[in-house]
């Protein structure tokens, strides 16, 4: 029974860590998009046409 409980705890920890990594990735991706939008607006306001390739 102890082995089952330990395995369950390890699986729960793995899922928690994985979920945290996914959230951090999505947050970073959103932040990068916001920065890209800011720079595109800035360039456009000074008459520079830019395209971000990623």
Q: What is the pLDDT of residues 23-51, one digit of tens each?
A: 999 999 999 999 999 998 998 898 887 77
pTM of this structure: 0.62
Query: Above 70 in pLDDT, residue 2?
Result: no
Q: Calculate the alpha carbon distances from 41 to 27, 30, 35, 45, 52 in Å.
A: 21, 17, 10, 6, 12
Note the pLDDT of residue 19: 96
State the burial class of residue 40 (Cβ atoms within 10 Å of its Cβ: 0-12, 13-18, 19+): middle
Query: Above 60 in pLDDT, residue 16?
Result: yes
Query: Above 60 in pLDDT, residue 1?
Result: no
């Amino acid at each position: 029974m102890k082995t089952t409980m330990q395995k369950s705890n390890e699986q729960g920890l793995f899922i928690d860590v994985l979920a945290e990594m996914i959230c951090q990735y999505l947050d970073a991706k959103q932040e990068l998009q916001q920065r890209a939008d800011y720079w595109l607006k800035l360039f456009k306001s000074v008459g520079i046409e830019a395209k971000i390739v990623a």
